[in-house]
Amino acid sequence: MSKMPEANPNIFSIYLISVSFIGLFLLAALTFGTPTSKVNFPWQKAAIGSIFGIISLTGIIAGVYPSKCSRLLHFRTSIQSRRHYDLDQRNMGERVITFEGHHPSCGKFSTHVFQLGGKNYCAGCTGLVIGAVISLLGTAFYFSTGLCLREMAMLIFWLGFVGVALGLLQYNLFNTNRSFIHLSLNVIFVLGAFLLFIGIEETANNLVLEAYFVILTLYWILTRILLSQQEHRKICSVCGSDSCSFFK
């Protein structure tokens, strides 16, 4: 993945969020403005449900193994350079910044992690995993039982709308210096996408709209990753440590 632009990081964040919300509002307009499709392919529900399930499963794997995924998504070049730098510092006997998952263990990221059983875990990744597990189980239950929620479709959709919106705006609206809030908002973010999916299925049941939702979900995930990286950059930008080259 190409490195995030250095110039105007705030404008870049605003751009990501703006596009996400344009897509979200367009999704609402299409869901309630598009007539229910009269053409239903036999494979339609199974295919869309499987794709959403794969996205959820991929999110679980990424959250459980963040350090491995960070090699692809978390400034791989910077991390490789930092490792060479750390080796040089270790040889000179100076302070070395190590990593716990994809967070430096310098203490600056203490509000992004929590301890359980003597180990540190990323609050954001844990929230995404919890949300993805619930979504995966919910998707399997919904399609295997043929559950009908048509009377609650509008409520389900708008709950999902709010959940995704809160997840996208978590760094702007909330004090994410508390790891529990950070964790909860990421659970809500993923569950919001799941509820949107169910709402669309019950309201429109339109293949084109479902495909648009899948593409939009992938964009939201990318936006969430880039916003997280941007937040990490902000933390490092005010750190005066010369013994760490992370994000520098």
Q: Note the pLDDT of residue 163.
A: 96
Which pLDDT score, from 0 to 100, does residue 240 have? 61
> Could you please report the per-residue DSSP string of the chain?
-PPPPSS-HHHHHHHHHHHHHHHHHHHHHHHHHSPPPS---TTHHHHHHHHHHHHHHHHHHHHHSHHHHHHHHS-HHHHHHHHHHHHHHHHTT-----EETTEETTSTTGGGEEEETTEEEEHHHHHHHHHHHHHHHHHHHHHHHT---GGGHHHHHHHHHHHHHHHHTHHHHS-TTSHHHHHHHHHHHHHHHHHHHHHHHHHT--HHHHHHHHHHHHHHHHHHHHHHHHHHHHHHHT---SS--TT-
Tokens 């299409």 locate to: 30
pLDDT of residue 190: 95
User: What pLDDT tens digit does each residue of the chain (248 aa) get?
Assistant: 444 444 466 788 889 999 999 999 999 999 998 776 666 677 777 888 889 999 999 888 877 776 555 554 444 434 444 444 444 444 444 455 566 656 666 666 767 777 777 777 788 888 999 999 999 999 999 888 878 888 899 999 999 999 999 999 988 887 667 788 888 999 999 999 999 999 998 888 788 899 999 999 999 999 988 888 887 777 777 776 655 555 55
pLDDT value, residue 102: 64
pLDDT at 87: 43
pLDDT at 208: 87
User: What is the domain partition of the chain in residue ranges?
Assistant: 19-236
